[in-house]
């Protein structure tokens, strides 16, 4: 910690000041660490506590639309009365209406399927990029990031024009004579998967690319030299070594997709049940902030598990020195 | 010609016209774009030979190895292994294994799994794989490291795992790409002898690529010296050192002094050369040089004697100069002697006794001399 203090301690006149400098430097180092903690405290922990508190309150027709509200004028005593009024009723409610459970399960299923689809589409792209000539790679990387320069909403909206019954895709297929009746894609799960794979592909490709790009190609040659066909070499060497990238990419897609709202809303039609939509309905249609907060807290809990798993895998791969 | 230097073992199939080469490069050319890495090269290697490809980086030696392993195909010409043309045979079907310069150990597998990898591909029964892996681990003295991952090993241990993995399948030919390049000097010297022992005990054909001439000379039966994708000389270490075929080879392998000159007279016993800096050189090794032709006379530093007194014999193979530089290396001392015309001659003398009876110091007058058999005449 004190290695930034470089004042020589050998010469006596400076000794006392050297200790001071060292102490000051230690404080400075602490301050540097405090910044991210402070950031997390103000923008994550405090809002989380507020949301958690709301989830334990009761819905009310008032401003804010729940009770009890925190009243600082009551002092410590007022705070205790507030605590006593809180209850887990909303969480119990979530278990009583199958809607919420179904929404969670449906969200997780859609997220899982679309993560697998994104991996299947993204892996060959990342592999191709990593094996492309070094001079070409920055361009390819740029192309992957390029869609981010347009609004996410507009890009998803554009898919409506492509997928709708009289849209571009159906026109093309009918024009080619491949189909007679327009395909019904919009407002189905297929449309959601297309939208998710399209939107989240860069989040899958980038970690995969970075894992594949740093792999020593002589490992593949060594595998082939030892009698392994190219396909075998891929499954025995390339893929196992890219697993950290696979895990990172899958989590980067899976976690936000579980709570995704825009894509199911625009492409999935009204019958799609996803938790992001349920959350929206509770907040804005029912104006039931406490139940909505409870839904959000449970969602967070559901997602914390994969995040912790991710961190565990990362820590282990770092331990292995790779 | 008398035998040059000592021969490590009585193994000289290249002198036997009836011996069939095991590996043959026939007029092989390899181009990458407009860069010619290997240029119309022909070379033969015999079974059980320890063959070294020696050259500076970019001379095409690694390309030769990669073409033999199947990672690159020749642009023209063909490569034969035991009479079979290798063209079109993918690396995983060739009976050769390679030890990579980077070792290319699979980081996600244990030492054991790395060694077993090739055997598993072969479809060898499990029990047999176990025995073979144990045997390999014993061979490279890594028994207690079987369960370790490559990143938990030292550089020398990794090198031995790579070696064990590449010989585990008992390939017909083992290709070694700078096998000792990543080791420190001491370990490198030890490992050179281990490699030689291994090659002898397994009876395999080894082709090693190296830029280190000492390494090539220590280990190899024969050395091919390459430059710009062409073979300059293929010969035993002693021949390469004592009878280099060209100025390039003489300069590349070891230290050498070169004197330009013209042949003054020539007979069966040798030639008398008048060097451009005024020396009269008598040599028994004149090659095909005829009287009047311009030649280069090459002589190794250790074959030149330095003395503070003028040698008693006549003025042939003698020159006067001044000690210009001294490097004391312990086992020997290197003197740079500046002749009257400014030409600096490198000499080295073995420190056979602890105290020299003819101490020389900087700027001392000194005479260099050498015997008629000490140097060779090179074609210009």
- Which residue carries 């069966």 as its tokens? B268
Residues 6+ apart with CB under 8 A from B4: B236, B238, B239, B242, B243
∠ Cα A201 A203 A209 (to 5°): 90
What is the chain A residue with the closest CA to B98? A225
Q: Which residue among B90, B96, B104 sits closest to A216, beta carbon to beta carbon?
A: B104
CB-CB neighbors (< 8 A) of B92 in chain A: 224-229
B154 pLDDT above the threshold of 80 = yes
Q: Which residue among A218, A227, A241 sits closest to B107, beta carbon to beta carbon?
A: A241
B234-268 tens-digit pLDDT = 999 999 999 999 999 999 988 999 999 999 998 88
Distance of CA B92 to the CA centre of its chain: 29
A322 at interface of B, judged by CB pairs closer than 8 A: yes
pLDDT for the residue B316: 87
pLDDT for the residue B92: 94
Give the mutation candidate from A217, A225, A240, A313 for the B interface (greatest B CB count, under 10 A): A225
What is the chain A residue with the closest CA to B117? A226
What mean pLDDT is predicted for residues B307-333? 88
What CA–CA distance (Å, rounded) separates A286 from B375? Answer: 103
If residue B159 lies in a helix (H) or strand (E), which one and from where to where?
Answer: helix B155-167
Domain A89-319 sits in which CATH superfamily? MetI-like (1.10.3720.10)
Give the mutation candidate from A226, A244, A319 for the B interface (greatest B CB count, under 10 A): A226
Q: Quick check: A223 and B106 CB within 8 A?
A: yes
What is the chain A residue with the closest CA to B105? A219
B126 pLDDT above the threshold of 50 = yes
Q: Quick check: B91 and A225 CB within 8 A?
A: yes
Residues 6+ apart with CB under 8 A from B120: B129
CB-CB neighbors (< 8 A) of B117 in chain A: 223, 226, 228, 236
Q: Quick check: B100 and A227 CB within 8 A?
A: no
B59-96 tens-digit pLDDT = 999 999 999 999 999 999 999 999 999 999 999 999 99
A241 at interface of B, judged by CB pairs closer than 8 A: yes
pLDDT for the residue A16: 59
Strand B376-378 to strand B294-299: parallel, antiparallel, or no bridges (unpaired)?
Answer: antiparallel
Strand B35-45 to strand B50-54: parallel, antiparallel, or no bridges (unpaired)?
Answer: unpaired
pLDDT for the residue A270: 77
DSSP state for residue A12 in the 8-state scheme: G
What CA–CA distance (Å, rounded) separates B163 from B143? Answer: 14
What CA–CA distance (Å, rounded) separates B307 from B349? Answer: 10
pLDDT for the residue A4: 43
pLDDT for the residue A2: 42
Q: Quick check: B106 and A222 CB within 8 A?
A: yes
Second CATH level (architecture) for the domain B13-248? 3-Layer(aba) Sandwich (3.40)
CB-CB neighbors (< 8 A) of B107 in chain A: 219, 241, 320, 322
Residues A74 and A81: beta-carbon distance below 8 Å: yes
Q: Quick check: A228 and B151 CB within 8 A?
A: no
pLDDT for the residue B58: 86
Give the mutation candidate from B106, B154, B163, B166 for the A interface (greatest A CB count, under 10 A): B106
What CA–CA distance (Å, rounded) separates B238 from B240? Answer: 5
For chain B, residues classed under CATH 2.40.50.140 are 255-308+317-378
pLDDT for the residue B1: 41
The phi, psi pair for B24, rounded to 5°, reads: -135, 125
Q: Which residue among B104, B105, B151 sits closest to A221, beta carbon to beta carbon?
A: B104
What CA–CA distance (Å, rounded) separates B115 from A226? Answer: 10
Identify which of B338, B360, B341 has the alpha carbon closest to the alpha carbon of residue B349.
Answer: B360
Task: Return the domain boundaries, chain A.
Answer: 12-85, 89-319
Give the three-class secondary structure for A113: helix
If residue A95 lies in a helix (H) or strand (E), which one and from where to where?
Answer: helix A89-96
What is the chain B residue with the closest CA to A231? B92
Give the mutation candidate from A133, A219, A222 for the B interface (greatest B CB count, under 10 A): A222
Q: Quick check: B121 and A226 CB within 8 A?
A: yes
What mean pLDDT is predicted for residues B134-151? 92
- Position B8 confidence tier, pLDDT thresholds 50, 70, 90: low
What mean pLDDT is predicted for residues B188-213? 90
If residue B307 lies in a helix (H) or strand (E), which one and from where to where?
Answer: strand B305-307
The list of chain A residues with pLDDT below 70 reads 1-17, 318-322
What crossing angle do the helices spanning B185-202 and B155-167 adopt, rounded to 10°?
Answer: 20
Identify which of A144, A148, A156 has the alpha carbon closest to the alpha carbon of residue A186.
Answer: A156
What is the chain B residue with the closest CA to A219? B104
pLDDT for the residue A1: 39
Identify which of A140, A137, A115, A144 has the alpha carbon closest to the alpha carbon of residue A254.
Answer: A115
DSSP state for residue B322 in the 8-state scheme: E
What CA–CA distance (Å, rounded) separates A321 from A57? Answer: 48
Pairwise pLDDT comparison (A322 vs B344), residue with the higher score:
B344
Distance of CA A200 to the CA centre of its chain: 10
What does CATH list as the number for B255-308+317-378? 2.40.50.140
Instruction: Give chain B's contact residues with A (Cβ, < 8 Å).
Output: 69-71, 90-93, 96-98, 100, 102, 104-108, 117-118, 121-122, 149, 151, 165-166, 169
Q: Quick check: A216 and B102 CB within 8 A?
A: yes
What percentage of chain A exceeds 90 in pLDDT? 46
Q: Which tokens hold the place of B370?
A: 């050498």
What is the chain B residue with the closest CA to A220? B104
What is the chain A residue with the closest CA to B174? A225
């Amino acid at each position: 910690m004190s290695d930034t203090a470089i004042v020589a301690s050998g010469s006596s006149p400076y000794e006392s000041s050297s200790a001071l400098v060292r102490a000051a430097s230690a404080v400075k180092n602490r301050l540097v660490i405090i910044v991210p903690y402070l950031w997390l405290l103000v923008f994550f922990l405090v809002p989380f506590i507020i949301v958690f508190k709301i989830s334990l309150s009761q819905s009310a027709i008032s401003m804010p639309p729940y009770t009890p509200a925190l009243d600082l004028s009551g002092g410590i005593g007022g705070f205790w009365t507030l605590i006593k009024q809180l209850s887990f009723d909303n969480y119990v409610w979530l278990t009583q209406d199958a809607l919420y459970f179904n929404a969670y399960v449906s969200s997780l299923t859609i997220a899982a399927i679309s993560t697998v689809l994104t991996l299947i589409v993204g892996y060959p792209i990342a592999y191709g990029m990593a094996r492309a000539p070094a001079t070409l790679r920055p361009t390819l990387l740029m192309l992957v990031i390029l869609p981010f320069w347009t609004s996410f909403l507009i890009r998803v909206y554009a898919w409506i024009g492509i997928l709708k019954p009289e849209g571009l895709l159906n026109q093309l297929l009918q024009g080619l004579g491949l189909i007679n009746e327009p395909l019904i894609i919009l407002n189905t799960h297929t449309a959601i998967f297309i939208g998710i794979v399209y939107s989240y592909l860069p989040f899958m490709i980038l970690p995969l690319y970075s894992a594949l790009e740093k792999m020593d190609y002589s490992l593949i040659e060594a595998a082939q030299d030892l009698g392994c066909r190219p396909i075998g070499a891929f499954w025995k060497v390339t893929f196992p070594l890219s697993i950290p990238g696979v895990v990172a990419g899958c989590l980067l897609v899976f976690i936000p997709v579980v709570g995704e709202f825009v894509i199911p809303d625009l492409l999935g039609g009204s019958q799609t049940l996803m938790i992001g939509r349920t959350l929206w309905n509770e907040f804005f249609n029912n104006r039931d902030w406490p139940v909505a907060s409870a839904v959000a807290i449970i969602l967070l809990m559901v997602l914390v598990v994969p995040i912790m798993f991710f961190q565990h895998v990362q820590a282990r791969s770092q331990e292995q020195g790779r | 010609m008398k035998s040059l230097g000592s021969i490590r073992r009585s193994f000289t199939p290249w002198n036997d016209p009836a011996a069939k080469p095991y590996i043959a490069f026939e007029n092989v050319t390899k181009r990458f774009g407009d860069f010619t890495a290997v240029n119309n090269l022909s070379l033969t290697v015999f079974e059980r030979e320890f063959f070294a490809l020696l050259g500076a980086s970019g001379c095409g030696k690694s390309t030769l190895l990669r073409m033999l392993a199947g990672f690159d195909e020749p642009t023209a010409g063909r490569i034969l292994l035991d009479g079979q043309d290798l063209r079109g045979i993918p690396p995983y079907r060739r009976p050769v294994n390679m030890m990579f310069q980077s070792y290319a150990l699979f980081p996600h597998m244990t030492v054991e799994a790395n060694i077993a990898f090739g055997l598993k591909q072969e479809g060898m029964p499990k029990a047999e794989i176990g025995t073979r892996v144990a045997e390999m681990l014993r061979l490279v003295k890594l028994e207690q490291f079987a369960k370790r991952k490559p990143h938990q090993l030292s550089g020398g241990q990794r090198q031995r795992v790579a070696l064990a993995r590449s010989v585990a399948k008992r390939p017909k030919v083992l290709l070694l790409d700078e096998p000792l390049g990543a080791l420190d000097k001491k370990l490198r010297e030890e490992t050179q002898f281990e490699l030689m022992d291994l090659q002898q005990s397994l009876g395999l054909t080894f082709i090693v690529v190296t830029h280190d001439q000492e390494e090539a000379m220590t280990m190899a039966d024969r050395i091919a010296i390459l430059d710009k994708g062409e073979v300059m000389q293929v010969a035993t270490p002693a021949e390469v050192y004592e009878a280099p075929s060209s100025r390039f080879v003489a300069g590349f392998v070891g230290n050498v002094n070169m004197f330009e000159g013209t042949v003054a007279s020539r007979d069966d016993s040798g030639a008398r050369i008048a060097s451009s800096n005024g020396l009269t050189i008598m040599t028994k090794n004149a090659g095909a040089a005829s009287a009047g032709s311009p030649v280069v006379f090459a002589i190794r530093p250790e074959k030149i004697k330095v003395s503070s007194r003028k040698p008693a014999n006549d003025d042939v193979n003698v020159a006067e100069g001044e000690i210009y530089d001294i490097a004391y290396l312990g086992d020997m001392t290197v003197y740079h002697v500046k002749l009257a015309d400014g030409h600096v001659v490198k000499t080295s003398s073995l420190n056979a006794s602890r105290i020299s009876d003819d101490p020389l110091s900087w700027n001392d007058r000194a005479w260099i001399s050498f015997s008629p058999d000490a140097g060779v005449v090179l074609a210009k």
